[in-house]
């Protein structure tokens, strides 16, 4: 659309309408709507001085912080394209994404100075656009952090000296302009940059608002990383768009997360399944008051029924959802159906249409397994500089998710597995997720991942990678006995590898491609 409007209007309008309302509580420090917008404007004026213009890519390697959101909204006001990078990545991975996006500015926390220094000579980032930011990460307290190097500018010094009045970009920003490039997890192959527009992001705001019945007096507790689409587009942007108060920490701490619910009387709580496991393990949920919470949103991976039950015992009723970088927040299970539709990923959101398709793209009836396909104004524009991949993923305006699933008679969807994770053994389709779901209930198993590998007799067979629970020992025989009678014998993995941990993406999904590489080297 050619309408002149942008995500940058969120802090601007909030500052106009409710300047003294608390927009963010970061590490127990209150930031009002006025203060947030003034910080955004100072950052935008700084970028203009540095020559940043519409269409330029500005990358960040930052922990969660207020400056992260200042830079994000400043880019939105100028029409620059925001590129949030996963700070867990190794140097070569960062180098690939920075050069692939063509980022001309990089803002990084002191924590990651070493990684940036190693690769900076190989980057397309312009020499005067390496910007250093001192972190207040509590994990690094007591450690001597490096100061600003000669080859970088100091964010605090250079941004604070700028005016806080509204910026007027040279070129108007319209709703169809790209807002951000968010890289996929890279579960298979090189990560791809999903391009998200201002318009698509507004529709996500509307969709999330309907899901959670959001109000301006809500307090959101979330410690999801802002570099991920979930943290940025499903939590932070919708919360600030609706005038909520967002409680943030620089990183995830299970004890602190639980205490924040009580400390700030949180009404909406976002956490991934793995995070909930860690929070429950602390025991803090049994020691605090959670009566203020009216909405709990989770997921991000397969969630066992036992986790829902453990949370429900404490008055927390988790609504599981489904989305991906290419189309965040596609579905959510209504609160009233959490128990009745256990295992479902929900119904499509108000601005998303979803169906199950066969390999030829035909819609399948309820109960039949096929690929989950979606369309609507929340779908990404495409992959950055990858027209062939974009055409393969978005066909005739329909997003092919790469996830296998089915729909029941009432229109609720269920995930079976990733298309690429399925393998054929003895001519039969095998979905590793089926076994993983069962084995996740074993009292001695903490995590399980199953992959298919070539086999001369059967074509392919399954290999299981098992992370035992702490202080537990488990054998292959025990696992085989546990599976007996629960699932067909041909689906059982033929052997198991016992490991200390599984390779995970930022959203706690198992990197099965890495497991396959690891197995091939054995």
Question: How many other CB atoms sit within 10 Å of the CB of residue 30?
Answer: 11
Answer yes or no: is 233 within a domain. yes
For the CA atoms of 216, 221, 226, 228, what is the dihedral angle to 10 degrees?
A: -100
Per-residue DSSP letter, 125: S
Answer yes or no: is 3 within a domain. no
Q: How far apart are CA 18 and CA 333, in angstroms?
A: 32
Q: Which domain holds residue 109?
A: 30-173
pLDDT at 512: 84
Give per-residue pLDDT as tens, 79-108.
999 999 989 887 888 999 999 999 999 999
Going by their DSSP bridges, the two strands 29-32 and 57-61 should be labelled as unpaired
Answer yes or no: is 188 within a domain. no
Give per-residue pLDDT as tens, 40-90.
999 999 999 999 999 999 999 999 999 999 999 999 999 999 999 989 887
In CATH, what number is assigned to the domain containing residue 431?
3.30.300.30
pLDDT at 434: 80
Q: Kindly state whether residues 268 and 218 are assigned to the same domain.
A: yes
Distances (CA, A) of 332 to 35, 408, 475: 33, 15, 37
Supply φ then ψ for residue 490, to 5 degrees.
Answer: -65, -15
Answer yes or no: is 196 within a domain. no
pLDDT at 444: 94
In CATH, what number is assigned to the domain containing residue 226?
3.40.50.12780
Q: Kindly state whether residues 428 and 409 are assigned to the same domain.
A: no
Distances (CA, A) of 494 to 95, 380, 416, 490: 39, 40, 21, 9
Cβ 513 vs Cβ 519: under 8 Å: no
Q: Kindly state whether residues 284 and 363 are assigned to the same domain.
A: yes
Q: How far apart are CA 463 and CA 515, in angstroms?
A: 10
Q: Kindly state whether residues 266 and 354 are assigned to the same domain.
A: yes
Task: Report how far Cα 289 is from the mean position of its chain's Cα atoms.
Answer: 28
Q: Which among 173, 196, 226 is the end of a domain?
A: 173
Distances (CA, A) of 85 to 63, 204, 282: 10, 21, 30
3-state secondary structure 384-408: CCCHHHHHHHEECCEEEEEEEEEEC
Q: Kindly state whether residues 152 and 272 are assigned to the same domain.
A: no
Q: Kindly state whether residues 350 and 216 are assigned to the same domain.
A: yes
In CATH, what number is assigned to the domain containing residue 82?
3.40.50.980
pLDDT at 264: 98
Q: Which among 418, 447, 470 is the end of a domain?
A: 418
Answer yes or no: is 4 within a domain. no
* Domain tally, the chain: 3
HSE value, Cβ hemisphere, 13 Å, CA-based, for 337: 15
Cβ 437 vs Cβ 416: under 8 Å: no
Q: Kindly state whether residues 374 and 252 are assigned to the same domain.
A: yes
Q: Which of 440, 492, 485, 434 lies closest to 466, judged by CA?
A: 440
Q: Which among 371, 401, 418 is the end of a domain?
A: 418
Q: Kindly state whether residues 411 and 303 are assigned to the same domain.
A: yes
Evaluate the CA torsion angle 252, 256, 257, 260 in order and state its sign.
negative
Q: Kindly state whether residues 258 and 240 are assigned to the same domain.
A: yes
Q: Kindly state whether residues 240 and 369 are assigned to the same domain.
A: yes
Reduce the DSSP state of residue 37 to 3 states and report it. Answer: helix
Answer yes or no: is 199 within a domain. no
Cβ 86 vs Cβ 228: under 8 Å: yes
pLDDT at 458: 78
pLDDT at 194: 96
Residue 195 pairs in a beta bridge with 181, 382
**Burial class of residue 19 (count of CB atoms within 10 Å of its CB; 0-12, 13-18, 19+):** middle
- What is the DSSP track for 326-380? TEEEEEE--GGGTTTTTT--BEE-TT-EEEEE-TTSPBPPTT--EEEEEESTTS-
Answer yes or no: is 350 within a domain. yes
Give per-residue pLDDT as tens, 334-382.
989 999 998 899 999 999 999 999 988 899 999 999 999 999 999 999 9
Q: How far apart are CA 123 and CA 98, in angstroms?
A: 7
Cβ 266 vs Cβ 296: under 8 Å: no
Q: Kindly state whether residues 53 and 169 are assigned to the same domain.
A: yes
Reduce the DSSP state of residue 142 to 3 states and report it. Answer: coil
Q: How far apart are CA 271 and CA 275, in angstroms?
A: 6
Q: How far apart are CA 58 and CA 164, in angstroms?
A: 20
Cβ 35 vs Cβ 49: under 8 Å: no
For the CA atoms of 365, 369, 371, 377, what is the dihedral angle to 10 degrees?
A: 50
Q: How far apart are CA 381 and CA 494, in angstroms?
A: 42
Q: Which residues contact 320 (CB under 8 A, 6 or more apart)?
A: 298, 299, 303, 332, 333, 338, 344, 345, 346
Answer yes or no: is 181 within a domain. no
Q: Which of 280, 315, 314 lies closest to 294, judged by CA?
A: 315
Q: In which region does residue 336 sit, left (phi positive, over 0), alpha (psi from -120 to 50) or beta (all else)?
A: alpha
Q: Which residues of the chain have pLDDT under 50?
A: 187
Q: Kindly state whether residues 413 and 428 are assigned to the same domain.
A: no
């Amino acid at each position: 659309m050619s309408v002149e409007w942008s995500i940058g209007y969120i802090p601007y309008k909030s500052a106009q309408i409710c300047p003294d309302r608390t927009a963010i509580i970061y590490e127990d420090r209150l930031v009002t709507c006025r203060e947030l917008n003034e910080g955004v404007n100072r950052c935008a004026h700084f970028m203009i001085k540095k020559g940043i213009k519409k269409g330029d890519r500005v990358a960040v390697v930052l922990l969660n912080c207020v400056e992260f959101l200042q830079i994000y909204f400043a880019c939105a006001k100028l029409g620059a394209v925001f590129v949030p990078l996963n700070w867990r990545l190794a140097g070569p991975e960062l180098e690939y994404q920075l050069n692939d996006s063509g980022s001309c500015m990089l803002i990084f926390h002191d924590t990651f100075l070493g990684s940036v220094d190693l690769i900076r000579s190989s980057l397309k980032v312009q020499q005067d656009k390496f910007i250093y930011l001192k972190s207040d990460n509590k994990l690094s307290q007591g450690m001597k952090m490096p100061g600003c190097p000669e080859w970088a500018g100091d964010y605090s010094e250079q941004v604070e000296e700028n005016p806080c009045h509204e910026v007027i970009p040279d070129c108007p920003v319209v709703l169809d302009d790209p807002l951000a490039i968010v890289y996929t997890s890279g579960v298979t192959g090189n990560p791809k940059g999903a391009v998200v527009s201002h318009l698509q992001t507004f529709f996500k705001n509307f969709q999330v608002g309907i899901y959670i019945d959001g109000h301006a007096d809500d307090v959101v507790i979330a410690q999801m990383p802002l570099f991920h689409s979930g943290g940025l587009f499903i939590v932070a942007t919708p919360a600030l768009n609706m005038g909520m108060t967002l409680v943030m920490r620089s990183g995830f701490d299970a004890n602190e997360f639980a205490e924040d619910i009580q400390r700030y009387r949180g009404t909406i709580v976002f956490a991934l399944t793995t995070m909930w496991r860690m929070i429950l393990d602390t025991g803090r949920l049994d020691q605090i008051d959670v009566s203020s919470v009216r909405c709990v949103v989770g997921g991000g991976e397969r969630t066992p029924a036992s986790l829902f039950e453990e949370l429900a015992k404490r008055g927390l009723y988790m609504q599981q959802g489904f989305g991906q970088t290419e189309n965040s927040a596609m579905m959510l299970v209504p609160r009233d159906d959490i128990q009745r539709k256990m295992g479902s990923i929900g119904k499509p959101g108000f601005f998303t249409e979803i169906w199950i398709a066969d390999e030829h793209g035909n819609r399948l009836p309820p109960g039949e397994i096929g690929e989950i396909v979606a369309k609507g104004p929340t779908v990404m524009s495409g992959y950055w500089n990858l027209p062939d991949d974009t055409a393969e993923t978005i066909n005739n305006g329909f997003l092919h998710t790469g996830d296998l699933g089915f729909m029941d008679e009432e229109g609720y969807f269920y995930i079976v597995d990733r298309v690429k994770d399925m393998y054929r053994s003895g001519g039969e389709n095998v979905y590793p997720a089926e076994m993983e779901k069962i084995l996740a209930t074993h009292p001695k198993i903490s995590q399980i991942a199953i992959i298919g590998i070539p086999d001369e007799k059967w074509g392919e067979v399954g290999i299981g990678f098992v992370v035992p629970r702490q202080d537990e020992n488990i054998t292959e025989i025990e696992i085989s006995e546990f599976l007996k009678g629960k699932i067909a014998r041909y689906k059982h993995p033929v052997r198991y590898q016992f490991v200390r941990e599984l390779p995970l993406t930022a959203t706690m999904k198992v990197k099965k491609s890495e497991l396959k590489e690891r197995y091939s080297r054995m």
